[in-house]
Amino acid sequence: MSDSAKTPTLDDVAARAGISGSTVSRFLNNPDVVAEATAERIRAAIAETGYIPNLLAGGLASSRSRLVAVLIPHLTDSIFNDTIESMSEDLTAAGTNVMLGLTGVSTVRTEQLVRAALSRRADAIISTGPINDAVVSLARRSRTLFIQLWELPDDPVEFAVGFSHRAVGRDIARFLVTRGYRRPHVITAQGTRATMRRDGFCEEWQAQGGTPPSEDRVDIPSRFGHARRAFATIRRLEEMPDVVVCGSDYLAQGLIVEAQAAGLKVPDDIAVMGFGNSALAGEMRPTITTVDIDGSRIAREAIAAIRRHAEGKPTAERCVDVGFRLLARESA
């Protein structure tokens, strides 16, 4: 939060609504005790000021809650799991409570969870999910540190630790060109970051002289089971691709199983590329060519930022780029 920013108070809400602070307090404790017209004025004043009620016991706004909220879209087949688990263990060992929130793909749900965390005066909110302008406004008005993981936004809310998804896509394209592949098929999950990887791949692929690849989309979270439908789509193409670029290792695993069940050899008949370097990627047969992200470093950088924030130290940089590694294995 900037030095010039001021955290909205209950008195600010009361002044904006033209009523007493005690009336606002009664409404917050029990909305039904005030007239509906008054309630509407209070709701409007809360929205306009960005006020977040303080639910800490004793109402001590200056006290540290030792609470960190971690928001992720989903747990099933999540590429964030290793990072979140490592970070949660370290935070818990340091005496900090971790509140896990599942946002799905809804910015509305994210906003609700952010409000819940702010009302409990969380020391930090760590987000890997979608955010909207309302979340940005709430976070920047608060004294809570807001950390975005697994991405490098042009204008982070406060602090971000991640990597360039578009650069990942470009590197995959260059790698496949050097390996001699000519007919890629791209399977992308319906998400912003996956779309950035897809865009980077398609841009670089065509810059390298390739024709636009065939494509398919799957829902979030992408799962092993999505591969069956995706493989059926591939089989209906006029010309079989020589490599399939998957948005996750789980999709890649499913594609390999489906291809082998159809009597195809991987990578001889069709190659498969994953993303995320999950544990299964190195254990499959064939092992999955994928992109490795240093989740442990992401966790360390986030925890270091939380400690600096607790000590009142400024963040030296708003974004930390942890990079990525392309791991060439057997599947491509």
- 129-158 pLDDT tens trace: 888 999 999 999 888 999 999 999 999 999
Indicate if 284 and 313 belong to the same structural domain.
no
pLDDT at 223: 73
Instruction: Give the CATH number for residue 42.
Output: 1.10.260
Greater pLDDT, 199 or 86? 199
Q: What angle do CA 138, 84, 280 make, to 5 degrees?
A: 140
Cβ neighbours around 331 below 10 Å, total: 27
| H-state helical runs in 18-71 | 21-29, 36-49
- Prediction pTM value: 0.79
Among residues 7, 22, 268, 86, the alpha carbon closest in space to that of 256 is found at: 268
* pLDDT at residue 313 greater than cutoff 70: yes
Residue 332 resides in a domain? no
Indicate if 220 and 204 belong to the same structural domain.
yes
- 60-85 pLDDT tens trace: 444 567 899 999 888 776 777 777 88
pLDDT at 58: 47
The percent of residues in the chain predicted with pLDDT above 70, rounded, is 95
Indicate if 30 and 73 belong to the same structural domain.
no
Which residue range is the domain that position 45 belongs to?
Answer: 1-51
Instruction: Give the CATH number for residue 98.
Output: 3.40.50.2300
Residue 327 resides in a domain? no
pLDDT at 2: 44
Helical (H) or strand (E) element with 159? strand 159-162
If one counts the domains in the chain, the total is: 3
The percent of residues in the chain predicted with pLDDT above 90, rounded, is 57
Residue 141's contacts (CB-CB under 8 Å, 6 or more residues apart) are: 1, 5, 7, 8, 50
Question: How high is the mean pLDDT of the chain?
Answer: 88
Indicate if 141 and 186 belong to the same structural domain.
no
- 15-53 pLDDT tens trace: 999 999 889 888 887 777 889 999 999 989 888 888 877
Residue 56 resides in a domain? no
CA separation for the pair 98, 146 (Å, rounded): 14
**What is the rounded average pLDDT of the residues 106-124?**
89
pLDDT at 64: 66
Lowest mean pLDDT across 66-75, 161-170, 183-192, 316-325: 66-75
pLDDT at 3: 41
Residue 59 resides in a domain? no
Indicate if 146 and 171 belong to the same structural domain.
no
Indicate if 182 and 235 belong to the same structural domain.
yes
Residue 58 resides in a domain? no
Greater pLDDT, 83 or 231? 231
> 161 has which bridge partners?
149, 320
* pLDDT at residue 188 greater than cutoff 90: yes
Q: Which amino acid is at 246?
A: C
Indicate if 96 and 243 belong to the same structural domain.
no
**What is the rounded average pLDDT of the residues 274-283?**
92
pLDDT at 54: 67
pLDDT at 5: 56
* pLDDT at residue 281 greater than cutoff 90: yes
- Specify the residue for token string 């924030």: 309
pLDDT at 62: 45
pLDDT at 328: 97
Indicate if 214 and 130 belong to the same structural domain.
no
Residue 154 resides in a domain? yes
* pLDDT at residue 227 greater than cutoff 70: yes
**What is the rounded average pLDDT of the residues 161-170?**
97
